[in-house]
Amino acid sequence: MRILVCGGSTGIGAAAVAAFLARGDDVLLADRSEPGAELLDSVAAHPGSLSVVRADFADPLAPTDVIAAALELWDGELDVLFYNAAVLESHPLADWTLDSWERSAAVNLRAPFFFIQAAEAALRRSGQGRIIVTSSTGALRGHAGMPAYHATKSGLLGLVRSVADELGPAGVTVNAVSPGWVDTPFNDSFWGFQDDADAALDELVSSIPLGYQASPDDIAGTILFLASDASRYITGQSIVVDGGYTAV
């Protein structure tokens, strides 16, 4: 399959890229940053191919530019759009600024919509079109200091349901993966907001039935499944991968 991954130099995105490559997929990775060394070192060991394009997802032109690059690379073809990029900022309510709110909204919610819009024609042609976005259990539960993150991740679930209805007749599935707590630097802003980060971490882990935070690889399997024929009758859904965090 020909797969565009938006946001995958590290963390969940990088784990998904590695899983796609191991399956033999052709991947175009779009990110602000260069891929991490661990991901690049793994490329030679996998049968798939990896191309990279730089993109700032807060830029309104990024969706059309990146989709154009993907279609040029693959002669107008695209099978899977996986939008994983996100911004997480934590501030006291009074300290939020227009700029910080707008950047979260732009990257977390506006960009995935316009990526979907720009990719629509190619995904309809594919015959196996898949759209996957990374939401969060933050769409289901709230934490102080993170209003923009929670609002935008909730908004993604509404976007998924709407687009699933529109593209379903073309056979294009649209789903969200909603990870719980994943042990990556992405969450550093949240931990920095806590009065006692160590105590907050202990309390968090004790609230997860499986007793630990996920690794990025724990999330990648669900993404791989949604980008396969095995998931062809699943659309408009949010699949929670959280070790039981939202179940209790």
Q: At what angle do helices 111-126 and 62-73 cross, to 10 degrees?
A: 30
Which residues are known to be catalytic?
136, 149, 153
CA distance 106 to 86: 9
Extended strands (E) in the chain? 2-6, 26-31, 49-54, 80-83, 130-134, 173-179, 238-241
**Computed from CA positions of residues 86, 115, 177, 47, in that sequence, does the dihedral angle turn out positive or negative?**
negative
**Computed from CA positions of residues 131, 22, 39, 177, in that sequence, does the dihedral angle turn out positive or negative?**
positive
Write out 103-128 in H/E/C secondary structure: HHHHHHHHHHHHHHHHHHHHHHHHCC
CA distance 192 to 181: 15
Q: Which residue has the tokens 């719980």?
A: 180
CA distance 58 to 138: 21
CA distance 164 to 170: 10
Q: Reduce the DSSP state of residue 55 to 3 states and report it.
A: coil
